[in-house]
Chain A
């Protein structure tokens, strides 16, 4: 009997944890406030649809079509024309030092080439080192061009409009040809937010027991390690739910991130991810001697989560050793999972491999954590 899990003790630990959570106002506010703040800061810093980007023009020709296009670009509010460059080198320099995000190059003889049906090309050189800056604006170009054509290529020149495109727009992404979009980053943020708060809160909540000496009272009672572990962790699962909910609403309302995949797949995935983070927090608590240490170690784990999980940099582009480390991080698998579900419409079977990845990591963590959590004080 005595080795059996006791629900009543588990529930007692759980409700005690809730009471303590409720009394600890600052932590409570942090748990809900920090994710919102992060979302706002990250979200707007990586604004998925930035406008009024500084733009320069290199005009080797001029005419009604050119004017219509430039007018259209300006009124789209994506581009702010800030001046004219006279040589390609000057445009290049402006892009490199960041004074301009775009340089629009109207080639020589552009207008006459249109009339001759030669389909000349406008080149838009973009500083894609900041991919989000380029994405929206570049995407808006085709609409702008269509409108410009409709306005100018009527009447005498109407015949050119009827044929395949009278001129083309080439967007030349420099410095980062892959062009990660912000919509890719926002779902990744959920992984970072959950990791950060879940790991830290659990670790601190548990270490507090040993730091304040209450752990001694606790383990002098017949309570089992599993009852303590689950009882202390469960309330924070709920916190994770609240954070996820806040996140989903904010992602949709503030950043227009779609959710096209299976909600069930998402639900399974984020539950597993929350649990693995809580287990990691529990493991940290068995190492840390003080709440301060617990906090520091938690922050330390956050670094690879941000840098090596594919959140900041494309996973495929990382060197082998970094990918190996990345694969040992739960957030890596969670990021793939969330992106697949939210953006690519994945269902449960599509994310099985990611779930497996998280499950394996969790198994390792829980095993070590339970081994380290002793029922004694040695």
Chain B
């Protein structure tokens, strides 16, 4: 990672009618990475992404995207970035082929016809190319949107909650595609609030109320939070889960099948609790390394939608 970063922004700030929506936000996305951008609804993810790709002008801060200044070189950024909006925003009254063709023309893609045909075949939609985009199911719309924002072979993909409201199978397929692209060297910044997506990422940043709370490699995040986790097995986990939840020393309890992951940031309290429970002998408590799953749950827990103003 000695290359220049794909995205590097410092102190990005944006207010809408007096309300600060993104607050001194920093982010550095290394080239070739899959970078997960987490945060509850309304925390400012979309606004931040729009500022990075030149769709919104920041009130404060500066930065570069693919080496271009986000304040002055929006045109070059637009030419080299693929941006997939949160809402499906292709033309529902155009056919699949017409949509791809139109976007390709906007980017003045060379060998356009061949490129569009190839995209259709990659999509597996070549025989339905004449179908109106509005008649596609959610998962297919998502894939079409991805194909559209990839049509000019951008070096950087900005995906804003690309799989919101899509079934798990379609989501997995979608991520297979993302990883394929990443392997080809495309940098991907993806906002999400699904855990199964978060754990696919090499890097994570977490934002709440417009402020970045934490960022780093996926591996380091649990340590950075200072999360300690016990793996608990044994009978009657449901009852145990309920009692543990009520315990102030426990930050969170997550159930994974026949296993409970009991985590908290207060190491001493957690240790005492484990010892005390071990002594009863009914359950087996094993200290494990906290992983991204726990970190994700920890971060998302208690993070209500951020729409009605931030904390004081």
Binding site for B on A (CB under 8 A): 2-3, 6, 8-9, 12, 16, 19-20, 23-24, 212-223, 375-378
Contacts and interface: CB of A to CB of B under 8 A. Distances in A.
Interface in B24-42: none
Nearest to A213: B89
A19 B102 CA distance: 11
B83 to A, nearest CB: 4
A216 B74 CA distance: 14
Interface stretch (B1-9, B54-62, B293-301): B54-62
Contact of B108 (A9, A23, A213, A220): A9
B218 to A, nearest CB: 28
A209 to B, nearest CB: 9
A43 B87 CA distance: 47
Contacts of A219: 55
Interface in B70-115: 74-76, 78-79, 81, 83, 85, 87-94, 98, 102-103, 105-108
A58 B50 CA distance: 82
A217 B78 CA distance: 11
A212 B105 contact: no
B53 interface: yes
13 contacts: A6-B108, A9-B108, A16-B94, A20-B91, A23-B93, A212-B92, A213-B85, A220-B83, A222-B75, A222-B78, A375-B54, A376-B57, A377-B50
A377 B87 CA distance: 15
Given A216-B55, A376-B57, A377-B50, A221 B107 contact: yes
B87 to A, nearest CB: 5
Contact of B75 (A2, A9, A20, A214): A2
Contact of B79 (A8, A23, A222, A376): A222
Given A16-B94, A376-B57, A377-B55, A217 B103 contact: yes
Given A16-B91, A216-B85, A223-B106, A376 B54 contact: yes
Nearest to A2: B75
Contacts of A9: 105-106, 108
Contacts of A212: 89, 91-92
Contacts of A3: 75
Nearest to B151: A221
Nearest to B85: A216
Task: Indicate the member of A3, A19, A214, A217 with the most B CB atoms within 10 Å.
Answer: A217
A24 B93 CA distance: 8
A105 B235 CA distance: 115
Interface residues of B, number: 30
A145 B289 CA distance: 114
A20 to B, nearest CB: 5
A23 B53 CA distance: 32
A222 B82 CA distance: 11
Contact of B93 (A20, A213, A217, A375): A20
A91 to B, nearest CB: 63
A99 B30 CA distance: 88
Nearest to A374: B57
B148 to A, nearest CB: 8
B106 A12 contact: yes
Nearest to B95: A19
Leading 10 A-B pairs by shortest Cβ distance: A12-B105, A221-B106, A213-B89, A220-B83, A217-B89, A213-B87, A222-B78, A222-B79, A23-B93, A216-B85
Contacts of B76: 2
Given A214-B90, A221-B107, A222-B106, A19 B56 contact: no
Nearest to A223: B106
A6 B105 CA distance: 11
Contacts of B94: 16, 19-20
Contact of B91 (A214, A222, A376): A214
Given A19-B94, A220-B53, A377-B56, 8 more contacts: A2-B76, A2-B79, A216-B85, A217-B83, A217-B89, A220-B83, A375-B54, A376-B55
Task: Indicate the member of B55, B81, B90 with the most A CB atoms within 10 Å.
Answer: B55
B98 A19 contact: yes
A221 to B, nearest CB: 4
A222 B152 CA distance: 11
Nearest to B145: A217
A277 to B, nearest CB: 24
Interface string B142-185: 00000010000000000000000000000000000000000000
B107 A222 contact: yes
Contacts of A217: 83, 85, 89-90, 103, 148
Task: Indicate the member of A3, A8, A378 with the most B CB atoms within 10 Å.
Answer: A378
